[in-house]
Amino acid sequence: MSQPTWGLVATIKAETADILNFAAHHLDLGAHRLHIYLDADNPEAFAALKAHPKCRVTLCDDGYWKRRGKRPEAHQPRQSMNATHCLNKRPQVDWLAHIDVDEFLWPATPLPDQLAALPPGTRSARIRPIEAMAPDPADPPAPGHAWFKGCSRYQGERRDQTAQIYPTYGPHLHGGFLSHVAGKVFIRTDQPDAALRIHNAFFDGARDSDPATLADTLLCHLHAPDWDRWRTAYRFRLEQGSYRDGLKPPPSPTGDGLSMNALFTLLESDNGEAALESFFTEVCTATPDLRDRLARFGHLHDIALDLDAKRARHFPKYG
């Protein structure tokens, strides 16, 4: 029996190098198809992807959205609509995952082997995230490497460990992450009435409540890889993205945790950008003390993505 094929779908608005880094990394892993929906026109990235035999690229321009009905104002529903559109139009793979341009699969063993080993009847499979930390200028990682933080998948254990790892801000953090702890999912593509959203697979309109877990694959999320890039994305995330108002704080027996929106708004009102930078240094910078606390619970990861070399290999004109 042949091994299952896999691919990705992503809705992307980013610089050319970031788009091609994302594609090159996953082509290097053996992706059979990459379905890239460009949320904004990028002729250079479009041409590079179009020329690659394993990539399928769609520009989400006015004509595209007119055919879909109407362009949603928020990017989250655009992502879900595009992912489901891809799933339903013959994605040319056995398994399809919906991830973002700043997320990179990191399998310990070949993905086809992991997918083939899933229990019969598995409809979707979850990949758990780890989140990039900024390098400590006084104690940087090895060249080409980056430190990532993980967290427990179990809510109670995660809450207790987060309080110990992040003593100042722990009650307000999901596992110490600034972004999601839910991860992303692969979905088997031969199932009727299936849909993909940002973190889950749906069947007949109902969320798959019991996905398998790809325990040997991590999702490396470059959400806050350094202060400058985090600060650049911060205002958009606060207003429309992963820190927007209305998202819940971490679960807590006492209910005293703040949402990310409330926490950041409070910090800014107290001491402006200096307070944000102090928070970033304590929570998101891979200082020796933070690395030691993460390692104590098995949540420290040293990853060498080597994205520039992969981009040069798969897209040599843009290397």
pLDDT at residue 256, as a whole number: 76
The whole-model pTM stands at 0.96
Classify residue 258 by its DSSP letter: P
- Under the banding of pLDDT at 50, 70 and 90, the label for residue 148 is very high
The rounded mean pLDDT for the chain is 96
Q: pLDDT-derived band of residue 50, with 50, 70 and 90 as boundaries?
A: very high
For residue 93, the model assigns a pLDDT of 98
> Distance of alpha carbon 24 from its chain centroid, rounded?
16
Lowest pLDDT segment from 21-25, 53-57, 249-253: 249-253
C-alpha gyration radius of the chain: 20
User: What integer is the mean pLDDT of 155-161?
Assistant: 95
Average pLDDT value for residue range 297-306: 98
Residue 192 CA from chain centroid, whole number: 26
Q: Do the Cβ atoms of 244 and 141 come closer than 8 Å?
A: no
pLDDT value of residue 2: 85
